[in-house]
Structure 1
Amino acid sequence: MIPIDPAELTFTAIRAQGPGGQNVNKVATAVQLRFDIAASSLPEAVRLRLLAGSDSRISREGVIVIKAQTARTQERNRAEALARLQALVDAAAHVDPPRRPTKPTRASQRRRLDHKSQRGAIKAGRGRGGLSTD
């Protein structure tokens, strides 16, 4: 897990969308988090993988914009937005090990060929008339 410097984050309180009555119309509980990838203190490899990704939350300028509005309080939405950003950075930091191709064993090749010949014999026996020795 790569720590994210809180000084590099910009939080903006906005009004949430959708149903919710008077509270959602009056109180700015939704949170918009902005994180500039290029100006961040992330390792270079993680930054490049984030910018190369095709996530719709990353703008052309290289700014991640995350909007959290599911909770009723601004603090919970702020924590949710931060957790989503951390998950995005952690996913970019994870690199799968390179795949080493392997060869099938001799026994598995033999089983495959035996099964093929059995199936071929079954299908050959389905024909009309069968084999005649006239």
Structure 2
Amino acid sequence: MISPDKQAALAARMEQLGVSEDDLVEKFILGSGSGGQKINKTHSCVYLKHEPSGIEIKCQSSRSRELNRFHARKELCDELDDRRLGRESKRRQAIEKIRRQKRRRSRRSKQKSIQDKRLLSRKKQLRKGPSPND
């Protein structure tokens, strides 16, 4: 359940950005993904389109339709804010960082990494004292 304070704050933010409920096209679509039979039978996923800007948001962060409606509107405000200010948001930067981390390494990068590991291994071998068998 969303507190009235949070709903009021979101409404104020939407008003500040010039977003009215009349500008929004809202649809509820079948959810997908993990969650089993319940998620596949209920229309809890929220599709939100802001007509003037053409921004489309799909939100299925929870099993509750009302919570998804709230989150979709919040994401829409974040997106509009980012576009208006013309800057990369922290959210987008985090997404890009994860994308870079997950990206496959190049063959040359892998070879360099393995070469560095072997070099370090040799150094460590040299640090060891003589074994008692010697």
TM-score by length of 2: 0.49
Looking at CA atoms only, which structure, 1 or 2, has the larger radius of gyration? 1
Higher helix share: 2
Higher relative contact order (CA 8 A, sep 6+): 1
TM-score by length of 1: 0.49
